[in-house]
Structure 1
Amino acid sequence: MKKLIALVASAVMFFALLGSLGFESTKAEVQLSTEKETKSVRTHASTVEDLLDDQGIKVEPHDELSHNLDDTITTGMQIDYQSAKQVTVKVDDNTEQYYTTADTVQQFFEAEGISIEERDEMSHEQASSIQDGMEIQVQKAFQVALNDGGETSEVWTTANTVSDFLKQQKISLKELDRLKQKDTASLSKEQNEVTITRVEKVTDVIEEQVDYAVVKRNDKSLAKGKEKVVQDGEEGQVVKHYEVTLENGEEVERKLIKEENKKDSKDKIVAVGTKVQQVQQAQPSQQAQSQPSRSNSSSGVQKTLYMQATAYTAYCTGCSGVTSTGINLRANPNQKVIAVDPNVIPLGSKVWVEGYGYAIAGDQGSAIKGNRIDLFMSDKGAALNYGRRGVQVKVYGN
């Protein structure tokens, strides 16, 4: 009996094994590739979807699959599946979400048509692998109008503030330099100007001449109205130190900070005659002969002339400002002096000119010949307006 039972059990096991072998032999063998692995799978699944369900893979709309889900499973089938990863891209202030099966950032950007320039700034390298949940930040470069010390240029940048821009461009400011904008000011496509004023202070040393003074002293040994230079004047010299402020290379301010006396000036001393000469009365015969042009009255007039008069200044073309007799007209603008022809009116003579008053015949000129005189005036406008006039001239002598 025991032998019979054992025989029956062995038969059952044999047929069970045979059935199992037959079931296995009916399975289809396929290759399944995912981003993690590639493996061979034997399956009784009838469709691709059934196979992926058996492998615990749920296909989402953005995933990539080499076959349709309802495709029939056949032996030797190669099935490729890649799950899509969620990626967030922030370009400046714009944020968008994407799903991608790309392997790298560069492939992802190319697939999505996202344009990136070399000058733009990105949070990840383009060769970086795509990770699920990755956030990529992109700052697009824009142009800034830079004025640095008067030199202008257009500069590409991704800086958010003026301070960041200066650091990015390696631009340093010195102590006196000025920024038109605050260093914390924002930069953008709309606010895209940076202006730097370069300020420096330098010392300028200048040597200047100092005019000498003209000192007049009465001299009773000289005839009244006559002058004689006793001591020539000499100009002095001072050294002036200026602090000069330059902005973008242009002078905007100058301050005198020190003055040194290098050489003292020396006064010009002029003796002025005070001696009054007695004029002898002319004989009646002489008076008759000279009556049209001379007068020997008690007034001291030696002769009266009718002459053509013009006017000049101490700064006329070719003028030195010093007369032929040594009178400095620039230093003595109120001095009454006329230029004469010495053959008509002796130099040093005291004269009276109609409309001009008392003066000294203290100068001469190449154009002043014969019946002509030239009146000194300190004001150029007055000299020009004087023009040419016929005047009466009284000569008193030296």
Structure 2
Amino acid sequence: MNTVSEQSSGSNVPSKPRTHHLSRRWPLVAGVAAAAIVASGTVAFAKAHKTVALDVDGTTTSVSTFAGDVEGLLAAQGVRLDDQDEVAPGLDTALRDGSDVVVRYGRQVTVATDGKESDVWLNVTDSNEALEILASRGTDVRLVASRSGERADFPLRLNDDGPVAVVADGSTRVVRAGGDGVAAILDRLDIELGADDRVSVVSVEDLTENGGKAVKEAEVAEVAEKSDVDVALQVERVETKKVTRTITIEHRSKTVSDSSRYEDLEPAVRTAGKDGERTKRYRVTTIDGVVTDRELISNKVTTKPVTEVVVEGTKERPAPDPEPEPAASSESSSSSSSSTPSTTRTAPVPAGSNREIGQSLAAARGWTGEQWTCLEALWTKESNWNHLAQNPSSGAYGIPQSLPGTKMATAGSDWATNPATQIKWGLGYIAGRYGTPCGAWGHSQSVGWY
């Protein structure tokens, strides 16, 4: 906000009896000048005693003088003029008894026209007159008060002729200006100003049409109509604060090939994806609670997203060894437990195969003969003894079809590739849940899983 200070060029009138503030408007001075100008006069007439009315910035004094012209009158009364000041009639105009002399000091004020501010010089006494003169400049013309700490300074009186509507904090109050300035009226109403608050003087008509965000236009219009108010003193509460906004950055996903992984296995996630975060900071300005400006002051990625990596195998799986033909079942086997497979493998187990490892580890637990037959049949059904077998629908894995496969990590960290580790875990699972392989096989035959 621009600083506005009173630039009054002339001096005050020396102590004289003051009569009153006139409701005179400066455009009428031309008429005063025309009435006061005389064509000529003698020196004797010019030096004759006369009584004139001297109006200095709205304060009129009746002056008895022997001055012959306006310049002599002002000099005798100690009224000094500067380039921005105006006087009517002109300085060389002869005085006569009953003449009117009007002086208006020039004052520099800040004017906001349709939101753009500029400094202008005006020869008026109050804000009402100033707004009338400036009305042709735009649709929203207001006079902006300067700030000096918690005080609002303004070079003009508010309204010499009538009341003023004070609009602040969502309410409208009407006060008699009585020649008081902005600061005095705000003090009278106990309105305190914040460091960034704005104070302006505007016509009530513009206020109700284009006023600030907190202005209750209907209320202002009603007050103006009832109280015959033309001028409004408006206080706008301005707040500037920093606001932080966090935005999620979605992670990406990519698929890579792995030549060491069998192509018939489901794709596996090597690296889990994770969303990131972007943090934006704004400087936000509000006027009476409504955002009027939002300035971006920083924009940083505070957490980088992690790309999800999915692995697809490209290795071709070798064909499984052919299974030996089962031998016909004997009478003794038909009389065995219903949980025992009806056929018994008579061909030897291939040396070094997954079955041989299973048979050896099962025998270490005492599971031979009938129990081995049940175990061999159970895991043939589940995985055909393939330690890389994976169920595409359930995700069960390995020779015992552990669900999930990671359960087998309790038997060894190489559970995904070592058949011996898988078999050790599977034998322990069977012993703990079903007691024996035939118990597990019987359950599998009954419900389809074990």
Task: Tell me if TM exceeds 0.5.
Answer: no
The structure whose residues are more often strand, as a share, is 1
The structure whose residues are more often helix, as a share, is 2
Give the alignment's TM-score, normalised by structure 1: 0.30
Rg (Cα) greater in structure = 1
